[in-house]
């Protein structure tokens, strides 16, 4: 596990953008798993400001709401197009977002040769993509019911519209097959979930805890999101501290 703790959300974005740009420089046809939500936005904006050619990258989304009309601005298909594909110059034909039961997504990922680099956010309740607490750790892409916490946390982009009750999400087993996981979290509201995910037991109660089992995990946090990591040793300068778990 490689953990970087940076000053703020902008610094997290710049760090993750550099990591992605470096991977694309080595593999112009990188299969990039994209997280949605607010956390990765600074990373996408920093990537868009960079000079690298990202037109060969393939984008795979983690999840999507069920039952929204096509093109709904709060849908993750619209998010990926608006916040990632268009600013990065990735053609729409290179974008895959789960739909329906999700079985087709598993086939598309297999046809792409798997996900090379997977960006991940984390829910306040420890959810990973839309794998809510209680999800099987070997689950595959499927339709799930959203918890009330998640529906409340995700309400803003829906305005007056009701937040969907269900979503289709890559399973935890599916996510773990990506070659490199990059978990991002910013803000104090994520501190408890981050601490549980990185230092607690690997358990369905905190789906994000499975990242501990991956052989290539990078965690990028701001200081507020890292504030629950008691007992971890900080090494390095204030702007780019590296954290090492005492047991690692």
- Counting contacts by CB under 6 A, is residue 121 touching ligand GLP? yes
Window of 31-39, 44-52, 86-94, 173-181 that interacts with ligand GLP by CB under 6 A: 31-39
- Counting contacts by CB under 6 A, is residue 243 touching ligand GLP? no
Nearest alpha carbon to residue 102 among 54, 60, 149: 60
Contact set for ligand GLP, span 50-109 (CB under 6 A): 62-63
Q: Minimum CB separation from ligand GLP for residue 155, in Å?
A: 11
Window of 2-10, 36-44, 49-57, 199-207 that interacts with ligand GLP by CB under 6 A: 36-44
Which of 129, 210, 221, 243 touches ligand GLP by CB under 6 A?
129
Window of 51-59, 107-115, 121-129, 194-202 that interacts with ligand GLP by CB under 6 A: 121-129
Per DSSP, 136 falls in state -
d(CA 113, CA 179): 11
DSSP-derived 3-state class of residue 131:
strand
Q: Minimum CB separation from ligand GLP for residue 39, in Å?
A: 3
Q: Minimum CB separation from ligand GLP for residue 129, in Å?
A: 5
DSSP string, 161-190: SPPPSEEEE--HHHHHTSSEEEEEE-SGGG
Distances (CA, A) of 180 to 172, 177, 188, 223: 14, 9, 26, 23
Nearer to ligand GLP, 149 or 199 (CB): 149
d(CA 28, CA 13): 21
Position closest to ligand GLP via CB: 121
* Contact call for residues 232 and 243 (beta carbons, < 8 A): yes
Quickly count: other Cβ atoms within 10 Å of residue 92's Cβ: 11
- Counting contacts by CB under 6 A, is residue 229 touching ligand GLP? no
Nearer to ligand GLP, 106 or 126 (CB): 126
d(CA 157, CA 78): 11
**What does the binding site for ligand GLP look like in residue numbers (CB under 6 A)?**
35-39, 62-63, 121, 123, 129-130, 150, 154
């Amino acid at each position: 596990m490689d953990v970087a703790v940076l000053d703020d959300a902008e610094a997290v974005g710049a760090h993750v953008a550099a990591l992605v740009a470096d991977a694309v420089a080595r593999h112009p046809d990188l299969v990039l798993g994209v997280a949605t939500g607010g956390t990765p936005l600074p990373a996408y904006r920093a990537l868009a400001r960079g000079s690298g050619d990202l037109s060969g990258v393939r984008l795979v989304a983690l999840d999507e709401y069920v039952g929204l009309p096509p093109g709904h601005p709060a849908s993750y298909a619209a998010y990926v197009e608006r916040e990632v594909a268009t600013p990065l110059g990735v053609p729409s034909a290179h974008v895959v977002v789960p739909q329906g039961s999700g079985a087709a997504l598993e086939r598309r990922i297999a046809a792409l040769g798997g996900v090379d680099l997977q960006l991940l956010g984390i829910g306040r309740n420890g959810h990973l993509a839309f794998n809510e607490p209680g999800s099987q750790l070997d689950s595959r892409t499927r339709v799930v019911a959203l918890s009330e916490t998640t529906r409340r946390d995700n309400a803003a982009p829906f305005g007056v519209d009701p937040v969907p009750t269900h979503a289709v999400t890559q399973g935890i087993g599916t996510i773990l097959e990506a070659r490199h996981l990059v978990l991002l979290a910013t803000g104090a509201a994520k501190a408890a979930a981050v601490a549980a995910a990185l230092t607690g037991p690997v358990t369905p109660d905190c789906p994000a805890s499975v990242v501990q089992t991956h052989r290539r995990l990078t965690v990028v946090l701001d200081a507020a999101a890292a504030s629950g990591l008691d007992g971890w040793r900080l090494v390095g300068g204030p702007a780019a501290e590296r954290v090492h778990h005492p047991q690692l």
